A and B are shown apart, each in its own frame.
Chain A
Amino acid sequence: MELCEYRGKGILREHGIPVPEGRVVESPEGAKIAAAELGGEVVVKALVPAGGRGKAGGVRFAASPEEAAEAAEALLGMHIKGYRVRRLLVERRLEILRELYACVAVDREAGMPLVMLSREGGVEVEEVPEHLIARAHVEPLTGFHPYMARELCAEAGLRGGELRQVAEVLHRMYGVFQSRDALLVEVNPLAITPGGVVAADAKLSIDDDAWFRQGMEQREEQRYVELEGSIGCIVNGAGLAMATMDTLKRLGGEPANFLDIGGGAGAEAMKRAVARVTSNPSVRVLLVNILGGITRCDEIAEGIVEAVQEVRVPVVVRLMGTNEEEGRQILRAAGIEVERDMLAAARLAVELSKSI
């Protein structure tokens, strides 16, 4: 789950990292009041969970409450990277001397957190030359200690009070990463101001799988991806789902969506999946591709038999694997044909999608 800048900054503040004072508003009038309360120059930012917001025109400066209202007027309703701007963050404008880049991320291949720091902040990290980014992997059994943060700062070329302050922020950022089950804690820019180091932006991504200890809702078991074609797909397992999508396209078909029912789905889950996938009006044929391991074909078959009565489009079913024979019998008894071969099922689905 990606947190918006305001929530991200709230978490940083709770962990003792300085952030600019700010207010969330939803109208020009609100922006005016917020600017008056904050006093002096302010910055008005579109609250959207997307990077590159500044370049897209989503950040404006205002010298007075009236200008803040004007900026808000211009920003509200804008579309930035597919997100409509509904809320704004009004913050006291910082006097920025220099901009750094700092983040804690997951290095998937190393299997360890990675802390990065660069003196070249304010731009997308991909645009910063490799040799200007100081990096340190964190051994999970040892953790990230203050001296490691100081080493990184020294490597990035920081000295004196700046080194001490930035190291403190980095260490606290790692604390956020650990305690919040984050996948990414990014501060860009980390601003050097006359008053000290301030997190001028914040990007936090929280691991959905940590729902049980982060007070989050449990993520839905079924993962649904919307595409643009006419074949609705229900598949068990992400890899097989992607391979099904690739195969349909190779055969000249276009998937409308796919739903990965996950491992071990039963009849109820199957019923819900059918309803969800076929609720998309562009679906002209439904392809169910199940290769049972932890998923049992008989339970899937029961779900299909019940759900199919409500369905307005032809259904192609491929079943193989755990309890396959039982599943096949259940479907046959209900007059539903079953394929065993994935390619044959995909071909049939493509044909049907074109002939209807």
Chain B
Amino acid sequence: MILADSSTRVLVQGITGRQGRFHARLMQEYGTAVVAGVTPGKGGESVHGIPVYDTVREAVREHDATASVVFVPAPLAMDACLEALAHLELVVVITEGIPVKDTMLLRARAKRLGSRLIGPNTPGIISPGESKLGIMPASVFRRGSAGVVSRSGTLAYEIAAAMSSSGIGQSTLVGVGGDAVVGTSMAEVLQMFESDPETEAVVLVGEIGGEAEERAAEFVKEMSKPVVAYIAGITAPPEKRMGHAGAIISRGRGTAESKIRALERAGARVAEFPQQIPEILREVA
């Protein structure tokens, strides 16, 4: 597994908000070590028995947290993420709707500090049976040896559910986020899976827009592990934003065809529909 395991000590930023509170409990129920929460001005309170602090620095000092999951609303998210990056090696940003300018700054800051930024607009990370840093429904995952990397949240759950129900478990699932600019690319996650001893095959879930899949395909060429991919939006009309800020075919770039071609040339097998992935994984494993 990569990025998160049972030793990951998690801090939840925005833990007193509606989503933070709800998902802190679900993460805890899953077995994640949720050691503290942060909401400025609410230090001293507690949520589901989790102590709340005013600052990340205090929470880290008291509980040796190693990662943060951020639920802070978009207008305040950049500041919260900068605070997290200053003290933690892994920052997972669930928040949707963060301006691109803010994400570019966060990404640069993370690289400068050597911290890992996942997202924004991500479902998070789950290493089934070990740890969940995010909002995914735990029931669709089971432990196994296939790594999954995805731009989309719910589509990744769909594919994980199809895998699990046909007996193929996951080592780790990483949502890189649906925005045009994200902290960690699919190519970087592929590299982590390639060097992870527990991962035997990788599923890449892409979608139209941008060139992240084409870049990932460059690394697929170098990989020893089999890669199975699915690209959403093959029937999407051009110049229409398909929900995700990043999902738009613009000026002929970012088409599903271009991504599928690049991945197939690099040696990946590309599924025609999500539920076909388990079958192809069986063939290549």
Among B101, B150, B273, B275, chain A packs the most CB atoms within 10 A around the CB of B101
Please tell me if B48 contacts chain A, counting CB pairs below 8 Å.
no
Please tell me if B100 contacts chain A, counting CB pairs below 8 Å.
yes
Partner of A108, one of B139, B207, B210, B272: B210
Question: What does the 1/0 interface line of B84-104 toward A look like (CB < 8 Å)?
Answer: 000000000010111111011
Closest to B181 in A: A111
Please tell me if B233 contacts chain A, counting CB pairs below 8 Å.
yes
* Contact across chains for A291 and B112 when beta carbons are under 8 A apart: no
Partner of B99, one of A209, A239, A240: A209
Partner of A239, one of B75, B151, B234, B272: B151
Chain B residues near A343 (CB-CB < 8 A):
273, 275
Within 8 A of A (CB), among B15-57: 19, 23, 26
Please tell me if B14 contacts chain A, counting CB pairs below 8 Å.
no
* Contact across chains for A240 and B152 when beta carbons are under 8 A apart: yes
Please tell me if B205 contacts chain A, counting CB pairs below 8 Å.
yes
Partner of A320, one of B96, B103, B137, B245: B137
Measured in the bound complex, the distance between the Cα atoms of B102 and A24 in whole Å is 34
* Contact across chains for B123 and A293 when beta carbons are under 8 A apart: yes
Measured in the bound complex, the distance between the Cα atoms of B207 and A245 in whole Å is 13
Among A113, A181, A321, chain B packs the most CB atoms within 10 A around the CB of A321
* Contact across chains for B181 and A108 when beta carbons are under 8 A apart: yes
Please tell me if B157 contacts chain A, counting CB pairs below 8 Å.
yes
Q: How far, in Å, is A176 (CB) from chain B's closest CB?
A: 12
* Contact across chains for A239 and B211 when beta carbons are under 8 A apart: no
When A209-B74, A242-B207 are in contact, do A140 and B108 touch as well, CB less than 8 Å?
yes
When A243-B155, A342-B158 are in contact, do A109 and B210 touch as well, CB less than 8 Å?
yes
Closest to B26 in A: A322
Question: What does the 1/0 interface line of B185-211 toward A look like (CB < 8 Å)?
Answer: 100000000000000000001011011
Closest to A249 in B: B235
When A292-B137, A342-B158 are in contact, do A241 and B242 touch as well, CB less than 8 Å?
yes
* Contact across chains for B101 and A239 when beta carbons are under 8 A apart: no
Closest to A107 in B: B181
Q: How far, in Å, is B233 (CB) from chain A's closest CB?
A: 4
Closest to A206 in B: B99
Please tell me if B61 contacts chain A, counting CB pairs below 8 Å.
no
Closest to A240 in B: B154
Please tell me if B262 contacts chain A, counting CB pairs below 8 Å.
no
Q: How far, in Å, is B114 (CB) from chain A's closest CB?
A: 14
Please tell me if B223 contacts chain A, counting CB pairs below 8 Å.
no
Chain B residues near A112 (CB-CB < 8 A):
104, 108
* Contact across chains for B232 and A243 when beta carbons are under 8 A apart: yes
Please tell me if A307 contacts chain B, counting CB pairs below 8 Å.
no
Closest to B106 in A: A140
Q: How far, in Å, is A124 (CB) from chain B's closest CB?
A: 9
Measured in the bound complex, the distance between the Cα atoms of B103 and A141 in whole Å is 12
Question: What does the 1/0 interface line of B201-238 toward A look like (CB < 8 Å)?
Answer: 00001011011100100000000000000101111110
Chain A residues near B23 (CB-CB < 8 A):
294
Please tell me if B116 contacts chain A, counting CB pairs below 8 Å.
no
Within 8 A of B (CB), among A306-325: 320-322, 324
Measured in the bound complex, the distance between the Cα atoms of B137 and A183 in whole Å is 34
When A181-B101, A209-B98, A243-B232 are in contact, do A321 and B139 touch as well, CB less than 8 Å?
yes
Measured in the bound complex, the distance between the Cα atoms of B275 and A206 in whole Å is 38
Partner of A291, one of B154, B232, B242: B154
Please tell me if B280 contacts chain A, counting CB pairs below 8 Å.
no
Please tell me if A65 contacts chain B, counting CB pairs below 8 Å.
no
Chain B residues near A238 (CB-CB < 8 A):
152, 178, 207, 242-244, 247
Measured in the bound complex, the distance between the Cα atoms of B181 and A263 in whole Å is 19
Measured in the bound complex, the distance between the Cα atoms of B181 and A118 in whole Å is 25
Please tell me if B161 contacts chain A, counting CB pairs below 8 Å.
yes
Partner of A242, one of B96, B98, B112, B242: B242
Measured in the bound complex, the distance between the Cα atoms of B178 and A247 in whole Å is 20
Within 8 A of A (CB), among B135-154: 135-137, 139-140, 150-154
Closest to B110 in A: A111
* Contact across chains for A113 and B243 when beta carbons are under 8 A apart: no
Q: How far, in Å, is B188 (CB) from chain A's closest CB?
A: 11
Chain A residues near B153 (CB-CB < 8 A):
237, 239, 263, 293-294
Please tell me if A223 contacts chain B, counting CB pairs below 8 Å.
yes
18 further contact pairs, Cβ within 8 A, besides A111-B103, A113-B104, A294-B19: A108-B246, A109-B212, A139-B108, A207-B99, A207-B101, A223-B243, A238-B207, A239-B151, A239-B154, A239-B243, A245-B235, A260-B243, A262-B96, A263-B135, A293-B123, A293-B157, A343-B273, A343-B275
Chain A interface (Cβ < 8 Å from any Cβ of B): 106, 108-109, 111-113, 126, 139-141, 178, 181, 183, 207, 209-210, 212-213, 219, 223, 225, 227, 235-243, 245-247, 249-250, 258, 260, 262-264, 291-294, 320-322, 324, 342-343
Q: List 10 tightest A-B contacts by C-beta distance, closest first.
A: A239-B152, A238-B243, A237-B154, A239-B155, A321-B137, A238-B244, A260-B243, A242-B232, A240-B154, A242-B233
Chain B interface (Cβ < 8 Å from any Cβ of A): 19, 23, 26, 74-75, 94, 96-101, 103-105, 107-109, 112, 123, 134-137, 139-140, 150-158, 161, 178, 180-183, 185, 205, 207-208, 210-212, 215, 230, 232-237, 240-247, 251, 272-275
